[in-house]
Structure 1
Amino acid sequence: MDQLSAMRAFLRVVETGSFTRASAGLGLPKATMTNLIQNLEAHLKTKLLNRTTRRVMVTTDGALYYERALRIVAEVDELDASLSQSQLTPGGRLRVEMAGIFADCIIIPALIDFSRAYPDIQIDLGVGDRTVDYLAENVDIALRGGQPADQSLIARRVGQLDLIFCAAPCYVEQLGEPRHPAEFERDHHCVSYFMPPNNRIMPFAFEKAEELVEIVPRYILSVNDARSYMAAVLSGLGAGHLPRFLVAEDLASGRLIELLPDWSLQAIPLYIVYPPNRHLSNKVRVFVDWLVQLISEMGLDTQQPAARGSPEGVSPLQRARTET
C-alpha cells in the first residue's frame, strides 16, 4: 500500500465531504479513491469514515488521524519543495498567529505587497489574544508582544513598542489629571486587563528617576483583548497604556491626552516565534524576512534596554505568560 497516497486521499475526502469531489480534485478514479481509503483503514485496523448514500462523515478515530496526517503530508510537501526548484517560488498554506491589534495595524495594511511577491503562499491568519498550542494547531509562525513563556519555541526579537499612558478628554474633564501613579489605586481608574487562563489582573508599572511604582489599578472595565482595550481608553472608560505609534494621530488631534508624562513605561519587545520544526521552511523564511523589513520600515525595530520593572511587562499588549 502506498500509505502517503492513501493519506492524501483520506485528507481530500474529509475536506470535501465527498468521494466524488475528492477524486476529481486529485485526478483519480473514484474506485481508486475507495480502494485507497479501504486499504488505509485495513492497515490501521480502524474505521476512519462512515459512508451513507448521501454523505461521508469522519469517525472519532478518523478526526484524530486527520489532524496528524495533515501535519505529516504538509511537512513532506515542504521537504520536497525545499529540495527542488520550487523553493525559488515558495507556496502553500502558511498558518500565522498574532493579536488583533498587530493584525489590523501592522500586518494586514501591508499584506498585499507580500501577496504580490509570493502569490503561491496562502496565509491562514489566526487573530486574537489567547494562548496558542503551536503544535496542536499546526501554527507556523507568530508575532508576539513580550517574552514567550514556552521555552521550546524559537524566538527572535525584532523590535519593540514604546508605550504612552493616556486617557480621553472626557475622562480628564471628569476626574482631572493625576499627579502620581498611586492615585489610580484611589481616586482614578484605568481600563484593566485580565490574563487567561487564571484571569489575573495585570499590574501597571511606572518609573521616574530612582522611583519604581507598581500598582494594580482600580477599574470600571477589564478586558482580555488589545483592540477592545484601546477602544475602551478612547471611549473614556479609564486611562491606559497604548503603543505610541498607534495613538500618535489621536494625541495630535486631541482625542487622547498624555498623562503622567514625567514617568516612563517599560517598552514591549516584539518577537517572531515558531516551533523548532518550522524554522527551515522556505515559506516561513520569506515571511519572516518580509515581516522584519516591515517592522523596520515602521520604525519599530529600535531595541533599547527595557526599563526596570516586572519581567512580564506592564501592558495588555505584553503578555509574557499567555502571549499576545
Structure 2
Amino acid sequence: MRVFTRIVELQSFSKAAEDMQIPAATATYTIKQLEARLGVRLLQRTTRHVSPTLDGQAYYQRCVRILADVEETEAGFGNSGAAPRGKLRVDLQGTLAQHYVLPRLKEFFARYPDIELEIGVGDRYVDLVRDGVDCVLRAGELRDSSMVGRRVATLQQVTCATAVYLDRQGTPQTVEDLHTQQHRAVNFFSSSTGKFFPLEFTVNGEQRSITLPGSVSVSSAEAYAACCANDLGLVQLPRYHVEHLLRSGVFREVLSAYRPKPMAVSVVYPHQRQLSPRVRVFVDWLSDVMTAAS
C-alpha cells in the first residue's frame, strides 16, 4: 500500500522507488503482485506518465486512511511507547521559518528525538500530495478546501518605507495622499498564480484596496523588503519582518491609523494525513511556537 500510494502521489514508479529507497524493479514487481491479487488494474502507464484508474483512485483513498490508522495504532505499542518516530516532510514560508521556527527546532527534537525532519523553505506553491509533503506553514487566507487548515497565529501588518524615500516623496497622512503625493510601491505577486496583491487599508471599519505604480515587482518576501530598503517605494508586510529596521529608523511606518487586518498564519495538511502522530505532534508544536510569538 505504501509503494502504491507514493507512485500515485509522485506519478512515477522511479520517483516513488527513489523516495522510498527501494530498487525500481521492486516497485514494479510490487504493483504487479498487488494488481494480480486484487484482480483489477490500478494504474495507467505511459512512457511519461502514471495515473490511477477509477479502481486505483478508489483504492488509493482507502489506502491512505488505512496507513494513517496503522501508524496511529503502532505508535501506541513497542519499546518506544507512544512516542512518534520516522521522517516528516514539511515546507515553511521563508521568513516565518527564519524568525520563528528554525531558532527553536532544538526544543522539538528534545521532545521528539525519533522524528527526522525534512524541511523545505521558501515561498513557492507546494502540492502536498504530489510532492509528498506532510504539512506546510503559510501566511494568508487559505483557499484550498481539499486541505485541513489550522490557524496558529495572526500577525500585525504595517505599511512602511525608508526614511530616504519619505523625505523625498512626502509622508502620507491619509489614504488619499498616496495618490495626491504620487507615491510608488514595491509590488508583490504570487509566483504560482501571477496575481498581483494591492495594498490594503482599513478605512471606517472597511477594507480598501489601493494599487500604486512601481518600478519593480517581486514574488518573495525577502526581495520585497530588500527593494523597499533601497528606497524604491512603499511596502506592506508583517511587522516582525521589519521590526529591527523600524526601531533603527531606517524604515518608518505610515498610515498606522489605517492598518490592514492582521495576517493569518496556518498549518495546512492533507485530510488523509491528519491522523498521523508525527504530523499531529509537529502541528501542535508549531501552534505553540507561533501562538507564543504572536
| TM bin (shorter chain) | 0.7 to 0.9
Identity %: 30
Aligned-pair CA distance for 1:105: 1.1
SS at match of 1:218: coil
**Unaligned runs of at least 5 residues, structure 1:** 24-32, 46-58, 301-324
Aligned-pair CA distance for 1:213: 3.5
In structure 1, the partner of 2:40 is: none
- Write out aligned runs for 1:79-118 (5 A): 79=72, 81-85=74-78, 86=80, 88-118=82-112
1:162 is the counterpart of 2:165: no
Whether the 8 Å CA contact 1:81–1:87 is kept in 2: the answer is: no
User: Structure 1 residues 134 and 12 mapped into 2: Cα distance closer, same or farther (>3 Å)?
Assistant: closer
- Aligned with 2:187 (options 160, 167, 192): 192
Cα distance in structure 1, aligned partners of 2:5 and 2:253: 58
Give the TM-score normalised by structure 2: 0.76
Whether the 8 Å CA contact 2:4–2:31 is kept in 1: the answer is: no
Alignment deviations for residues 41-69 of structure 1 (CA, whole Å, 9 cap, x no partner) = 76479xxxxxxxxxxxxx9779959xx99
Whether the 8 Å CA contact 1:181–1:213 is kept in 2: the answer is: no
**Residue 156 of structure 1 aligns to which amino acid in structure 2?**
R
**Residue 75 of structure 2 aligns to which amino acid in structure 1?**
S
Whether the 8 Å CA contact 2:153–2:264 is kept in 1: the answer is: yes
In structure 2, the partner of 1:29 is: none
In structure 2, the partner of 1:267 is: 262
Aligned-pair CA distance for 1:106: 1.2
CA RMSD of aligned residues (A): 3.7
1:244 is the counterpart of 2:239: yes
Alignment deviations for residues 253-290 of structure 1 (CA, whole Å, 9 cap, x no partner) = 11211112222211111212211111111111111121
- Aligned with 1:226 (options 221, 224, 230): 221
1:132 is the counterpart of 2:135: no
**Residue 282 of structure 2 aligns to which amino acid in structure 1?**
F
**Residue 257 of structure 1 aligns to which amino acid in structure 2?**
R
1:78 is the counterpart of 2:81: no
Cα distance in structure 1, aligned partners of 2:15 and 2:264: 41
Whether the 8 Å CA contact 2:68–2:275 is kept in 1: the answer is: no
Choose 1 or 2 for highest CA Rg.
Answer: 1
Cα distance in structure 1, aligned partners of 2:278 and 2:133: 13
Cα distance in structure 2, aligned partners of 1:169 and 1:204: 19
Aligned-pair CA distance for 1:202: 0.9
Aligned-pair CA distance for 1:88: 2.2
Whether the 8 Å CA contact 2:157–2:237 is kept in 1: the answer is: yes
Whether the 8 Å CA contact 2:72–2:275 is kept in 1: the answer is: no
Cα distance in structure 1, aligned partners of 2:27 and 2:202: 64
- Aligned with 1:204 (options 182, 199, 202): 199
Cα distance in structure 1, aligned partners of 2:206 and 2:2: 63
Structure 1 stretches of 4+ moved >6 Å? 3-8, 10-13, 59-63, 71-74
In structure 1, the partner of 2:42 is: none
Cα distance in structure 2, aligned partners of 1:289 and 1:17: 27
Whether the 8 Å CA contact 1:182–1:215 is kept in 2: the answer is: no
In structure 2, the partner of 1:296 is: 291
**Unaligned runs of at least 5 residues, structure 2:** 7-12, 36-44, 52-56
- Aligned with 2:280 (options 264, 274, 285): 285
SS at match of 2:246: helix
Whether the 8 Å CA contact 1:194–1:223 is kept in 2: the answer is: yes
Greater mean alpha carbon deviation, residues 183-192 or residues 248-257:
183-192
How many residues are paired up? 268
Aligned-pair CA distance for 1:83: 4.5
Cα distance in structure 2, aligned partners of 1:16 and 1:194: 32
